Every structure is written in C-alpha cells, then in structure tokens.
Amino acid sequence: MNTQNTNPTDEEIEGIGGDEDASWGDYPIDTVLIRNENRTVHDVLRRIEKGSFVMDPEFQRDFIWPEDKQSKLIESVLMRIPLPVFYLAEDAQGRMVVVDGLQRLSTFQRFVNNNLRLRLPDQAELHLKHFRDLSPKLQNRIEDCNLVLYVIDAKVPERARLDIFERVNSGVPLTRKR
C-alpha cells in the first residue's frame, strides 16, 4: 500500500499526481467535458474567415509546415485517407481555439485560398497546381472532406486545457487506463 495515499478510496492514476499537477485535484478527472463534432473543410474555413476560430492562441506554435508536407496533406485528402482528429477549446465567447491541428487547418486555408501550389512530382495531374486549377470534382473532394473535431467545453479550466494540449502534442493518451 502506498503510504503517501492518506485516503484509501483515492485512486492513483499513472502520470497524474505530484505537486506539478495539483490543479487537477480541484477538477475531478471524470468531469472534463469534450464533445465530438463533424464538420467539412468548407464549413471550418468559413468559420475561420468569420473569426469564429482562434488560430493563434499563446500556447500554439507558428505555422511551420514546409510546402511538401502541406502538399502531402492535400494529396491524402484527395486520396480519401481519413485525417487525425482536431482538438479545439471553446472560449467564453463561443469561439473555437485551435489546440491541435493548426498546421493542417492552415494548410487547408492556404490551399483553398490559392496561396499554396502543390509540390507532388509523382502526381503529374496535381503537381504545381493551385486549388483553382483543380477540376470541380477534386475541389469538391477537398471542401467536402469530413473533419472530426474534439471540442473542449468552455467550462474546463485553463490549466486542464494546457494539459490536454501538452498530451495531444506528446502522444500521451487522454484517457486513463484501468
């Protein structure tokens, strides 16, 4: 038995505990509110343009993806390869703060706004093309691509949001193991 555990009903959770995570003590782990939403690329880009998405929160790094990596993302969408989920945090005003997925969302924005020319030398029909150069069928495939958004509720404390950001960017699972 762990002698540091003063309450035998307390459950020890691997990776959570110690002084550095004291803020979790006031916020029970079972009450972190994250909902799942599905949106198209077109819908998300429209919301970004309206200012409903915060693309530059303090904790987020700048846009750093090189054009070849951006091109591979667009190629993946055109090939209908499912994308990883996006993490957003709702703020008090109802805006969506990008927690994880800035590079991908920025790539979509750049491409659809014709600010990115694809670098895909192995794909002759796509290489050096802007969005406007694609057939309507391929443009629709990009705009209709379904994105899975995990939205952290506005009621979740800032420390928990930052912890979630650290976890999704370091590969640490968000769910505890039993």
Q: Where are the domains of the chain?
A: 33-169
Q: What is the edge-to-edge ordering of all strands in the sheet holding 146-152?
A: 34-40, 146-152, 86-90, 96-100, 53-54
Q: Which two tokens stand for residue 118?
A: 């694809």
Can you give the pLDDT at residue 27? 56
pLDDT beyond 50 at 84: yes
List the single range of 37-51, 121-135, 153-167 with lowest mean pLDDT.
Answer: 153-167
Please determine, for residue 107, whether its predicted confidence score (pLDDT) is greater than 90.
yes
Residue type, 121: P
**Burial class for 87, CB neighbours closer than 10 Å (0-12, 13-18, 19+):** buried
Q: Which H/E stretch holds residue 170?
A: helix 158-170
Pinpoint the alpha helices (H) of 1-155: 41-50, 67-78, 102-112, 136-143
Calpha distance 150→100 (Å, rounded): 10
Per-chain mean pLDDT for the chain: 81
Neighbours of 105 (CB within 10 A): 20
Residue 148, number of CB atoms within 10 A of its CB: 13
CA–CA separation, 41 vs 131, rounded Å?
13
137 or 28, which is more confident: 137
Q: Tokens 């993946």 label which residue?
A: 76
Distance between CA atoms of residues 63 and 60, nearest Å = 9
Name the residue with higher pLDDT: 60 or 36. 36
